[in-house]
Chain A
Amino acid sequence: KQEVTQIPAALSVPEGENLVLNCSFTDSAIYNLQWFRQDPGKGLTSLLLIQSSQREQTSGRLNASLDKSSGRSTLYIAASQPGDSATYLCAVTFGNEKLTFGTGTRLTIIP
């Protein structure tokens, strides 16, 4: 079964610190991987998309990496801010156009 796992479920860090969120998946034959942000009671906002042929993508303070051989992706957030507090979801497309989601990491940035 194709599964996506995110650990930890929750993370609190002081403002200004750099941090890494983790995502692991069970099948290396992926089409792409997306990182989303979700604020409470809201929909999902796409942050970064990594195609299977890519190793990383960057947008501002965010950097996402992909290692298919180990079944892992990381989302690196530099110089964290209180506005970064949200739930971050990793979603993998395993080639059949169906996104499979992890359970998310709830991030709290402490001012």
Chain B
Amino acid sequence: DGGITQSPKYLFRKEGQNVTLSCEQNLNHDAMYWYRQDPGQGLRLIYYSQIVNDFQKGDIAEGYSVSREKKESFPLTVTSAQKNPTAFYLCASWAGYEAFFGQGTRLTVV
């Protein structure tokens, strides 16, 4: 099936650790995005990439990093510099006119 796969579904991070969230798509879309969602708030853009080997910061990029070495993959690393990482993270790809989302990863700091 074509779509966007995020893994893992749940992730637990200890204080001071870096963790990486996976996002893979087989839709052949050039553009991919990472959003963060907190309770009662809308989605906020962390990073986006419009083409392989290129990416731009979104509205809340501090404490996060990304790479785009392959068209299909756009992993997000939550670094120890992110002081409040507990949230729901959503990955999306863009078809040129419409966005498609994965099922999300819930990250919790323990």
Residues of A bordering B, CB below 8 Å: 4, 9, 32, 34, 36, 41-46, 49, 51, 89, 91, 97-99, 101-104
Instruction: Give the residue name and chain of the A residue nearest to B102 (CB).
Output: A43
Q: Which residues of A contact B2 (CB under 8 A)?
A: none
Q: Is the CB of B100 within 8 A of A46?
A: yes
> In the complex, how many angstroms separate the beta carbon of B58 from the nearest chain A beta carbon?
7
B94 at the interface (CB under 8 A from A): yes
Known: A43-B90, A89-B43. A97 touches B50 (CB 8 A): yes
Give bound CA distance, A80 to B47, whole Å: 37
Q: How many residues of B contact A (CB 8 A)?
A: 26
> In the complex, how many angstroms separate the beta carbon of A34 from the nearest chain B beta carbon?
6
Residues of B bordering A, CB below 8 Å: 6, 31, 33, 35, 40-45, 48, 50, 58, 88, 90, 92, 94, 97-104, 106
Give bound CA distance, A99 to B35, whole Å: 10
Q: Is the interface of A mostly helix, strand, loop or mixed?
A: strand
Contact of A98 among B48, B103, B104 (CB under 8 A): B48
Q: Is the CB of B103 within 8 A of A43?
A: yes
17 contacts between A and B (CB under 8 A): A4-B42, A9-B40, A36-B101, A43-B101, A44-B90, A44-B92, A44-B101, A46-B100, A46-B101, A49-B97, A89-B43, A91-B99, A97-B48, A98-B33, A98-B48, A102-B42, A103-B42
Nearest 4 A-B pairs (CB), nearest first? A43-B103, A44-B101, A101-B42, A103-B42
